[in-house]
Amino acid sequence: MRRFTPALAFMLSLCFVTLLTIRLHAAAPVMSLVAIQDSAAVQGVWGDEGSSAWSTGAATVLLNRQGWADWRTVGVTLSAPTDAPLRTHISIGSQKILLRIGQTARRVELLDRVADGTRALSIDSETRVVAGDRRALGVRIGDIRIVRMAQTPWRMTLVIVLWVLPLYAAAVWMLRSGRLGWVAWVSVASVHMALLMAELAGGYAEPSLLLVSPWREIWSILMLVMAVWPRRSETVPLAVNGRRIGLDALRSIAVLCVVVAHGLPLLFPQWNSERQIFRWFVVAGDVGVDIFFALSGFLIGAIVLRQLPQMTQWHAVRRFWARRWLRTLPAAYVSALVVWLIAAPRDVGGYLRSIFFVATVNPYQVPTELGFWWSLGAEEAFYLLAPLVLYVLLQRMRALPAFVTTLVAIAASALCVRTILVLLLPADIAGNVSFAIYARLDSMMWGVLVALLRVHRLHWYGWIAQYGAPVGLVVGATGIMLLLDAPRWVAASIIVGHVATTIGAALLIPAMERWSTLGGKWRDGVVRGMALISYSVYLYHSMWEQRVHGWFGSATNWSEWLRNAAVYLAGTLVLAILSYRLVEVPVLRWRDEKHREEI
């Protein structure tokens, strides 16, 4: 039966695509709404007045500002504030019309192809002052609807097939991992198809989940190649305690992602305004943080599991806190003092909120100083809450059930808080929930779960080490694609995207822990060195980027780009090495002399 599961997955997927295509072709033309309350889309109105608003006489509606698809017909409902009609000019692209709009609502539809980026619909009208209102009111703008271009049936079918092409490849690859692959594939396919159905419900645009063409096809081909690639069946012994080159490689990848993401201001300024480029830099930072969270959960989970019998005693909890905070806080606060020498903060209040880990408590406020400290704050909250909850539960439960309950309670609470906030907050604010410390604690718990399997279900852990890499890569890639499309899928990207990325990283840990070498001593040495200073790199890279930007500004040509990148990377490495040798090592040596327990 196992040899037929990929073929069965193919058949099920093809049947689904066929039914979906029939459903799509039978559907009437669909329209998508541009909300009048969206200040980024509708400008030149007097404010939020429900589903419509009075214009100031000169309003602009930005269509397709995300550049997802072509539009054809644009419709807008207009009315005047008084009986006297208002002369109104409406223009979009090459089309310009003059209308007289009265009090009775009038539906105006314009035909123009709006492709590849932002196109403005301009509404310029006379104004009137009405009794009891001192404002000069232009025409009232009602609902704004955009009808997508009609697609030929064969082209629409092809587009949908390309949408689910990665699922075919993922099925072939992941289903070789047995039950784990089945569960992961069903989960990924469910997310994939739910978003496709949501897209169909609001009108169909060019899909971009799991990359846009041609990257979608390239990713699919790579998965298919990996599916037929010979797989070693023998097991490799688990690494002994100490440094593990595979985990060091993961840590190095994570810190490089963060460094690259925060180096964007040093590059060409237009890259900040180009969504296709900008989003890749932003997501690189998100991916790096998610990998760090998975690794932190795995390593700290292993420590807690080793000390679990002692966690019934309050002094063991205090000793755990002391060791973890001596590992992280001294270097962090020394770096915060160095900020005043390298890049003095302009917002002292924001600086203080960041170093006390309260800058992201309110999603409506985004920190402008040491903003990256939010992830360190999430780690510190994890160190604080996990042993505390565990200690309370151990007074009433046995060790292992108390540990599992702690894991589930913290993860479920954080996920619920994040979901509620994303659903309640406005779309332009919901994205800030990703930086809220209390809403991201579930990210560490996936690494803790892997550590639990390593200690108490070693055969499961070994099975994941042998078969889990394809699943981890596909699930992680799905999370990355959701994060790349965050403006389009706000709730899904924040709620599911980070979860999928972290699960993907956590599933890679068992396989990478068994690596004994990267293929050469110099490679192993570089990766180990980068992993050792990774925490200091995290602490100093952002402030050094600000200093370099103050000296040179953004690059205007490729030679300046290379200069900025070289100074940024070299300075970050020098500061990180100094911090590691002068702060981290002495503090850790003192800590280990004072507390003899193993890390």
pLDDT at res. 599: 38
pLDDT at res. 449: 92
Locate 366 and state its tokens.
């985004």
Residue with tokens 């110099």: 522
Q: Give the least confident one: 271-275, 374-378, 539-543, 590-594.
A: 271-275
**For residues 313-329, average pLDDT:** 90
pLDDT at res. 36: 67
- How would you class 266 by CB atoms within 10 Å of its CB: exposed for 0-12, middle for 13-18, buried for 19 or more? buried
* % of the chain surpassing 70 pLDDT: 73
- When pLDDT is cut at 50, 70 and 90, the band that residue 388 belongs to is very high
- When pLDDT is cut at 50, 70 and 90, the band that residue 32 belongs to is low
Please tell me what DSSP assigns to residue 73: E
Closest listed residue to residue 434, CA positions, set 382, 380, 371: 371
Q: For residue 374, what are the CA distances in angstroms to 103, 289, 338, 438, 541?
A: 52, 10, 18, 10, 15
**For residues 456-474, average pLDDT:** 82
* Residues facing residue 60 across a β-bridge: 43, 122
Kindly report the pTM of this predicted structure: 0.75
Please state whether 242 falls in left (phi above 0), alpha (psi between -120 and 50) or beta.
Answer: left
Locate 340 and state its tokens.
């005043």
Task: Assign domain 31-148 to its CATH architecture.
Answer: Sandwich (2.60)
Instruction: Give φ, ψ of 213 to 5 degrees.
Output: -65, 140
Overall residue count recorded for the chain in this entry: 599
- When pLDDT is cut at 50, 70 and 90, the band that residue 175 belongs to is low
pLDDT digits (tens, 9 = 90+) for 475-506: 887 788 788 777 777 788 888 888 989 998 99
Residue 538 has pLDDT above 90, yes or no: yes
pLDDT digits (tens, 9 = 90+) for 251-306: 999 999 999 998 888 888 878 777 667 878 888 899 999 999 999 999 999 999 98
- How would you class 510 by CB atoms within 10 Å of its CB: exposed for 0-12, middle for 13-18, buried for 19 or more? buried
Q: For residue 190, what are the CA distances in angstroms to 215, 475, 496?
A: 21, 12, 12
pLDDT at res. 12: 62
Contact 275, 66 (CB under 8 A): yes
- When pLDDT is cut at 50, 70 and 90, the band that residue 26 belongs to is very low
Residues 557, 268: Cα–Cα separation, whole Å? 8
Please tell me what DSSP assigns to residue 523: H
pLDDT digits (tens, 9 = 90+) for 395-445: 888 888 899 999 999 999 999 999 898 888 887 788 888 888 888 898 899
Residue 50 has pLDDT above 70, yes or no: no
**For residues 68-72, average pLDDT:** 53
pLDDT at res. 297: 92
pLDDT at res. 235: 43
